[in-house]
Amino acid sequence: MGAESTSKTTPESGDKNDKKKTQVVLNVYDLTPANNYSYWFGFGVFHSGIEVHGKEYGFGGHDFPASGVFEVEPRSCPGFIYRCSVTLGHADMPPSEFRKFLQTVATDYHGDTYHLISKNCNHFTDDVSCRLTGKRIPGWVNRLARMGVLCSCLLPESLQSTTVKQLPEPREYSVKT
């Protein structure tokens, strides 16, 4: 369902602003071994991070009203099993401009607002991808959460308020004001 790829930054020829064109890549991880079976039917329980300029950014839950956006080395998010990478497109944004962009996006993704069904890591990567490339992440990545929204009245209360907490190893991406 996804093609392997790596992030590359290349100079955009003839650009007056000397911007760099960088590949935007979605890195997908398994949250459960059951994905080995359900993946082939087009759904599963996945974590995703978005790779830009050689770093991967994800969103995880914690108990504080501060950014839940964090940075890790690509394809190595602690606590998850890497599955595949999907190239989403390119962004014409140098690293310094991307950092400012990410700081703005991070204000919408506080750790205490993380929700397994309505505001998870896949919602974050989809939002970033749409803003950078105009393209959505593949539907299978967050299909189970979308199904959960449709059937939320059938889900137990404990699942409706569940968050997936990120392990403390990744550096939290803080927003400077």
Catalytic machinery residues: 47, 121
Most distant CA pair in the chain: distance in Å? 57
CB atoms within 10 A of CB 177: 5
**H or E segment and range at residue 127:** helix 121-133
Element (H, E) at 38: helix 35-38
| CA separation for the pair 117, 154 (Å, rounded) | 13
